[in-house]
Structure 1
């Protein structure tokens, strides 16, 4: 007998403890090992192996080495274009940031549910994306004050601003600057969460349409399944674009700290 599909689109974002209980806490904060922490660890391990495989420096580079060098050159070129020669010293950080987000997004799309293992996309949580954004923002502040001291505040007064407009423009620029980490983290979080929710909803249409009979299966289930395939392809594109946008905006913000543009 066919059963009704019981698909909760939000269940995939639930953080669940894998080791430890609610009693494992330090200063009131639970420190149990969760599914989110597991997939962060998996992402770090996969990324480390990926980069390590490209550091063999063979005389005739293999595809693996060429791939790592391509991504490194891509980030180096992006930083040089946005910051200048001074951007080269930020390549390790921005490269790590870009690749970590990219691998996290892609690993969360793996169809491991067919073998009973459900990947967890931790970039669909604002606590993670927000922390990455705050880290980038902190680097901007440190670089800005280290290089320019109190002159860094001139960033809030664009060059050529008429004197009477400064009391109006400066607060607006300051608020815009302070909103940067929020918007940076929110953009990635919303993009990843929306795609996964949509796929989960469509999967319920496929299951319910199939269970309702051949007619509903062809009318509802099949189009929903075909749409899922298209959205999965789009999600792969979004995974790369969002990692790129995060790295690009980080480089632009660092440019403000370096050059006060």
Structure 2
């Protein structure tokens, strides 16, 4: 926004991502209740409202809230089954929870004065690491040492298999990095651009143009919020397939 106190026109798009304690003070410890904590809790409440409150009066002719809940349920269930196969369906509750948490965190972040928790790498890294560690542990539990077979490209010429194995191992351990940064980067970049453009709204000459541009960007951000939740979830399903399906090369 414009900073009139200094007599100049300044925009600080990154201020919206600052983590602040809710009850005053400057020190932030692991137990401090912050704006991040608040909006993650609101995302959980929104999930409960959608799935519990919204479907409490189930009927053959569904209400709007029931229709939305059933549509999301069916969409994610089909995704898990199509990508991971029948064996992966038993992990559907986790995938569904992950999708809803990311989706509602993204959408809540579009509200005025809200905080987008998924714009912080600290949040997305935890989500990505839970997927990475869970898939890796599950892979060894279900396949034993045979899980390492996914790194050995048996269809390639024998001479280059060791090189491909090294590339596969590196690619595997890079997964949580790309998985988390993709989500956080897209959410942060979009919100920063909206804040920069909205900062020009105080200039009367360009304000109508700015309002139109911000409205269009909000529509784009709404699409990005949904797409990024979908991308994170379908990548989780792809990684889960490696664990429940064993070696795939």
TM-score, normalisation: structure 1: 0.87
> Distance in 2 between the 1:148 and 1:96 partners?
26
CA RMSD of aligned residues (A): 1.8
Structure 2 unaligned blocks of 5 or more: none
> Distance in 1 between the 2:179 and 2:30 partners?
27
Alignment partner of 1:122 out of 113, 117, 125: 117
SS at match of 2:13: coil
Structure 1 unaligned blocks of 5 or more: 112-117, 211-216
CA 1:167–1:158: 2 relative to 1, 3 Å: closer
> Distance in 2 between the 1:195 and 1:20 partners?
29
Between Structure 1 and Structure 2, how many residues are aligned? 241
> 1:90: how far off?
1.4
Runs of 4+ residues deviating >6 angstroms: none
* 1:134 corresponds to 2:129: yes
SS at match of 2:22: strand
Alignment partner of 2:232 out of 225, 239, 246: 246
> 1:131: how far off?
0.7
> Distance in 1 between the 2:177 and 2:243 partners?
18
> 1:65: how far off?
1.5
> 1:222: how far off?
2.6
The residue correspondences of 1:51-70 to structure 2 (distance < 5 A) are: 51-52=51-52, 53-70=54-71
> Distance in 1 between the 2:176 and 2:74 partners?
26
> Distance in 2 between the 1:35 and 1:133 partners?
21
Q: Is the 8 A contact 2:154 2:161 kept in 1?
A: no
Q: Is the 8 A contact 1:20 1:32 kept in 2?
A: no
TM-score, normalisation: structure 2: 0.91
The residue correspondences of 1:94-109 to structure 2 (distance < 5 A) are: 94-109=95-110
> 1:21: how far off?
4.2
1:77-111 residue CA offsets vs partner (Å, 9 max, x unmatched)? 01111111112111101111111111001111013
Match of 1:114 in 2: none
* 1:231 corresponds to 2:226: no
1:187-232 residue CA offsets vs partner (Å, 9 max, x unmatched)? 000110001100110011222x22xxxxxx1xx3332221111110
> 1:124: how far off?
0.4
CA 1:11–1:147: 2 relative to 1, 3 Å: same
1:105-159 residue CA offsets vs partner (Å, 9 max, x unmatched)? 1111013xxxxxx200010000101110111111111210011111111111123
> Distance in 2 between the 1:251 and 1:128 partners?
20
> 1:30: how far off?
4.0
* 1:156 corresponds to 2:157: no
Match of 1:214 in 2: none
Match of 2:39 in 1: 39
